[in-house]
Structure 1
Amino acid sequence: MTDIRDDVRTGFAELYGYEPSGLWSAPGRVNLIGEHTDYNEGFVLPLAIDRRTVIALGLRQDRVARVASDFADEVVQIDLAELSPETVHGWSAYPLGVAWALGQHGADLAAVPGFDVYIESDVPVGAGLSSSAAIESAVALALNDVWQLGLDRPTLARVGQLAENRVVGAPTGIMDQSASLLGRKDSAVFLDCRSLEAQIVDLGFDAAGLVLLIMDTGVSHSHATGGYAERRASCELGARELGVESLRDVGVDDLDRARGILDDVTFRRVRHVVTENQRVLDTVRTLREEGPAAIGDLLDASHVSMRDDFEISVPELDLAVETAQSNGALGARMTGGGFGGAAIALVRADDLSRLQVAIDGAFAEHGYGQPDTFVVTAAQGASREP
């Protein structure tokens, strides 16, 4: 990560004409299991990955905020007094939305100084690896430091979620920001999205001779539009009709009753969330009791549920998963919000090259664009950089 740090520091100085106060970074994340359960107050098991967003930030003498990045041509400028969900748009909604959301969590935006930010990232965009939460978490940690707000990391995760929900307009849960801020090396974050209690779970992939392969289909998606919001609304409808606060309160044993109350589509959406919650719990137990080589069937079952009940997969994701499964993967599933993005496969290290070749061949045979396949490892969460 030395190169990107140097690039960010240089980019900031060239753009703004002075040296930054410091550098902060935050990782993307991949969700091992637990999809669309977070906004239903359920359970998730993400891990921070070794792809990071790095920001340089400098404090100003006025109350102006300026943000720029290597992936956008413009420098966006706004007075802190004018920050609101209605006044920021496009990519700048991620960093500027965090500043606004900190104001909703106690920061006095009439008293804090303005800032300049420059951003670079090697987290793939649109792949379901939460490039957005990496930006939000890095900016939240940086502003918490320089504004001396004293907020803890679970609160900063809520800040990032608020920015995503209200300013970006994506109805996502708190999983992504929690993983980016709380992640630990060689571990996953077992998060209860109702209590926000987080436990660190050792993965043990390396000791077991396993690697986690990302299969980025190149099919881009957006949480701020379309199907994601529809799925969330369907879950909320199901909870109302079942008379519960959220689908967290529905167990696997309740599904027979739910089938008699709900229409078919709503029932299948509910069934996915309920069974996915149970799969998260089973995965945590299995990791602790049997080790990572035993979780493959749970990953496979998760994909079937997302494909058939929640209907958020696409043909490219299904092909990646099926090809991995038939070429030695212990388990595979799409990951992220769906409608594109990436799938993951838990693979023996010795089988990795053969599997990657098979995936490239399968995509070419079906006339799809070449996927990007790469291994990720569980990494440390957001931090201030030296």
Structure 2
Amino acid sequence: MTDALTALTRAARDAPQRTRWFVPGRIEVLGKHTDYAGGRSLLAAVDAGHTVTATARADRLLRVRSEEAGETVDLDLDHLEEPTAAADGHWGGYVRTVAARLAANFRGRLRGADLTVTTTLPLAAGMSSSSALVVGLALALIDLSGLAAEPAFATAITTPEQLGEYLGTVENGQSFGELSGHRGVGTFGGSEDHTAMLCGVPGALVQYSFCPVRHERTVALGDELALVIAVSGVEAAKTGAAREDYNRVSLAVGEILRRWQEDTGRHDASLAAAIGSGPASVQRLRELAADDDYLAGRLEQFLAESERIVPAAALALEEGDLAEFGRLADDSQAGAERGLRNQVPETITLQRLARELGAHAASAFGAGFGGSVWALVDAVEAEQFAGRWLEAYRARHPERAGTASVAITRPGAAAHRVTD
């Protein structure tokens, strides 16, 4: 299957009048809140996602309809800075963010279009439906407008990984090389989700490090295994009031790095870079964070997750040591509970129940404060396990019985253009 960047590049000089893109959700198997700190993640695209269908218009209107929301958002591409009636946290904010960034980076090149978004992805379930929307909208608009032929695009973005990193900055508002930052959606995240969606491998997990994005390993997930996803029923939102909790986790990394830079006079761009700067760096970072309980816990979580758990778990899975893989996933879950403090009773219950019911491994994933938990099980038992897991969870949390759900999946294909 042709990767997204190759498809965009081939079509760039003869921009189509109509295009359709599928963008998967993702499972963050391991790598909780590591990407924006320059750390590692172990990821999979899934077989559910958003489909964005786009048709070019002759005028400067961008009209986007979400079939899931049953709503349409209209934007005038010549007046993107003017406020709209959409409230903070409305999905239309993502539409505006993508359009405004592309219009700012490639002035005069963005075309008007009618777009329709359909989805098979559970929303606000930790599978990054919001980032999938950003990626899907961006791919469709880049395609229709032939932006991949622009010198600024072609110079800055030469690999699918760089495309994922750029789209991460579209969401968080940071600059990407000469492509200047512009607003963002108000969350201080990284490019893990976007990379998984653009670089996922069917039937395998991919290990990446970030800032910049670097591929480290691809680990096949044998056909004898399956991933079961349990949606807790607690919305893992990153908008509105939930944004403050989410941003606290990432802002803590920024504070640790600020203290390090001020103390050492160094200009390391990420926490991972600071850690790798010398043999005494970890001890000094611990000293600098010691006066703040949350900062100290956040540092220890990152050190364990990125430096030890992710590479060791990938190796264990590669060698078929499922017991060790499960132990490391348990360590990751404990780090989220103690260090990130982003778990809710429902996700904690789901992880514990999965292990009690015999899952090889299980962990919560995504931004936290709700969302989902994955469990690795034998494929032949996946359906029975999923039913027992959901039944046990509903018994523990009857208030979530109507919104909790389970799904069985395998690592799926990366984002791609859909041919009619």
Report TM bin, short chain: 0.7 to 0.9
Residue-by-residue CA offset, 1:173-215 (whole Å, 9 max, x unaligned): 1011111111121122322212212255133231xx2211111
Taking the aligned partners of 1:217 and 1:237, their CA distance within structure 2 comes to 31
Name the counterpart of 1:103: 103
Q: CA deviation at 1:312?
A: 0.6
Taking the aligned partners of 1:61 and 1:216, their CA distance within structure 2 comes to 42
- Matching of residues 266-277 of structure 1 within 5 Å: 266-277=295-306
Question: Which stretch of the first structure deviates more once superposed, 64-73 or 343-352?
Answer: 343-352
Question: Which stretch of the first structure deviates more once superposed, 52-61 or 131-140?
Answer: 131-140
- Matching of residues 216-227 of structure 1 within 5 Å: 216-224=231-239, 225-227=243-245
CA separation of 1:137 and 1:368: change in aligned 2, threshold 3 A: same
Taking the aligned partners of 1:133 and 1:336, their CA distance within structure 2 comes to 11
Taking the aligned partners of 2:362 and 2:281, their CA distance within structure 1 comes to 28
Residue-by-residue CA offset, 1:256-298 (whole Å, 9 max, x unaligned): 5444332222100111111110211222333334466641111
Any gaps of 5 or more consecutive residues in structure 2? Answer: 1-16, 173-182, 262-267
The one of 246, 249, 258 equivalent to 1:240 is: 258
CA separation of 1:319 and 1:312: change in aligned 2, threshold 3 A: same
Any gaps of 5 or more consecutive residues in structure 1? Answer: 1-19
Name the counterpart of 1:345: 375
Name the counterpart of 2:128: 130
Assess if the C-alpha contact under 8 Å between 1:247 and 1:274 holds in 2. Answer: no
Amino acid at match of 1:229: N
Residue-by-residue CA offset, 1:8-64 (whole Å, 9 max, x unaligned): xxxxxxxxxxxx712211100010100100111111121110002001100011111
Amino acid at match of 1:188: L
How many percent of aligned residue pairs carry the same amino acid? 28
- Work out whether 1:25 is the aligned partner of 2:22: yes
Amino acid at match of 1:187: A
Assess if the C-alpha contact under 8 Å between 2:44 and 2:411 holds in 1. Answer: yes
Assess if the C-alpha contact under 8 Å between 2:110 and 2:141 holds in 1. Answer: no
Name the counterpart of 2:226: 211
Assess if the C-alpha contact under 8 Å between 1:101 and 1:160 holds in 2. Answer: no
Say which SS state the counterpart of residue 81 (structure 1) adopts: coil
CA RMSD of aligned residues (A): 2.4
Q: CA deviation at 1:80?
A: 1.0
Residue-by-residue CA offset, 1:143-176 (whole Å, 9 max, x unaligned): 2222112255334324432332233222211011
- Work out whether 1:185 is the aligned partner of 2:202: yes
Assess if the C-alpha contact under 8 Å between 1:22 and 1:58 holds in 2. Answer: yes
Assess if the C-alpha contact under 8 Å between 1:64 and 1:115 holds in 2. Answer: yes
Taking the aligned partners of 2:394 and 2:165, their CA distance within structure 1 comes to 39
Assess if the C-alpha contact under 8 Å between 1:212 and 1:377 holds in 2. Answer: yes
Name the counterpart of 2:391: 360
CA separation of 1:375 and 1:83: change in aligned 2, threshold 3 A: same
Q: CA deviation at 1:111?
A: 3.9
Assess if the C-alpha contact under 8 Å between 2:19 and 2:144 holds in 1. Answer: no
Amino acid at match of 1:71: E
Amino acid at match of 1:171: F
The one of 75, 81, 84 equivalent to 1:78 is: 75
Name the counterpart of 1:161: 168
- Matching of residues 46-65 of structure 1 within 5 Å: 46-65=43-62
- Work out whether 1:228 is the aligned partner of 2:249: no
Q: CA deviation at 1:358?
A: 4.0
- Work out whether 1:374 is the aligned partner of 2:407: yes
Taking the aligned partners of 2:71 and 2:343, their CA distance within structure 1 comes to 34
Normalising by structure 2, we get a TM-score of 0.80
Question: Which stretch of the first structure deviates more once superposed, 293-302 or 125-134?
Answer: 293-302
Assess if the C-alpha contact under 8 Å between 1:25 and 1:385 holds in 2. Answer: yes
Say which SS state the counterpart of residue 235 (structure 2) adopts: coil
Normalising by structure 1, we get a TM-score of 0.87
Name the counterpart of 2:118: 120
CA separation of 1:245 and 1:146: change in aligned 2, threshold 3 A: closer
Assess if the C-alpha contact under 8 Å between 2:226 and 2:377 holds in 1. Answer: yes
Q: CA deviation at 1:367?
A: 3.1
Amino acid at match of 1:190: Q
Say which SS state the counterpart of residue 98 (structure 1) adopts: helix
CA separation of 1:362 and 1:204: change in aligned 2, threshold 3 A: closer
Name the counterpart of 2:141: 143
Assess if the C-alpha contact under 8 Å between 1:186 and 1:203 holds in 2. Answer: yes
